[in-house]
Chain A
Amino acid sequence: DAGVTQSPTHLIKTRGQQVTLRCSPKSGHDTVSWYQQALGQGPQFIFQYYEEEERQRGNFPDRFSGHQFPNYSSELNVNALLLGDSALYLCASSRDRGGIQYFGAGTRLSVL
């Protein structure tokens, strides 16, 4: 049983560019949440997707957007990248919106 998978594992971009990160949830899970983890900090909630809709959002600007597909996989898009967007981006899936969340290995984004 595959766990949560994320791609790519690493990414290097320059300021102003756009990036798309991908996540496939654990089998049987229908909810995907995205988190940003800066070095030395705990993960910060970006948003959660359920039934292909954004259900709630953390304190992140509109440059951060997402999508969930009918097969429950999800994308995180970040536009107009800033140096401060450099972080580990984690995807977590759960059986429902309140279920225990299991994390993927993350995508490490570096913005130069």
Chain B
Amino acid sequence: RKEVEQDPGPFNVPEGATVAFNCTYSNSASQSFFWYRQDCRKEPKLLMSVYSSGNEDGRFTAQLNRASQYISLLIRDSKLSDSATYLCVVNVAGGTSYGKLTFGQGTILTVHP
């Protein structure tokens, strides 16, 4: 079983749509959670951190369920510029894996006019 699993998609949605991505992780010692965005042939860029209480940044909402080891990202009012690969990332704090980011495969989103 992969440490971090995502639906690879692709998701093809029209502008203005709401789209949700899901992610599960297997290591219960995971302490930090993130969504990174990666444009084609570019580096991953931090989109947002994910907190247990849930957090929102404009059109983006991230949720974490530690009991189910599940992370989600909701994008409202999709824009053409949201087209990218979204990477679910976990970080185990402490111990031998401290600071090691574990990435999911990524979910491809294409927003069309």
Interface residues of A (CB under 8 A from B): 31, 33, 35, 40-45, 48, 50, 55-56, 58, 88, 90, 92, 94, 97-106
Contact = CB atoms under 8 A, between A and B. Distances in A.
Contacts of B34: 100
A103 B99 contact: no
Contacts of B72: none
Given A35-B103, A58-B100, A92-B101, 6 more contacts: A33-B100, A41-B105, A45-B102, A100-B49, A102-B46, A105-B43
Given A103-B43, A103-B45, A105-B43, A43 B97 contact: no
Interface in B57-113: 87, 91, 93, 96-106
B54 interface: no
B106 A94 contact: no
Contacts of A45: 100-102
Nearest to B106: A42
10 contacts: A41-B105, A43-B87, A48-B99, A94-B99, A97-B98, A98-B91, A100-B34, A100-B49, A101-B99, A105-B43
A97 B105 CA distance: 23
A45 B97 CA distance: 10
B99 A56 contact: yes
B70 to A, nearest CB: 18
B98 A56 contact: yes
A106 B106 CA distance: 18
Interface in B31-47: 32, 34, 41-46
A43 B99 contact: no
Given A48-B99, A97-B98, A98-B98, A105 B42 contact: yes
A36 to B, nearest CB: 11
A55 B96 CA distance: 8
Given A98-B32, A105-B42, A48 B91 contact: no
B103 A42 contact: yes
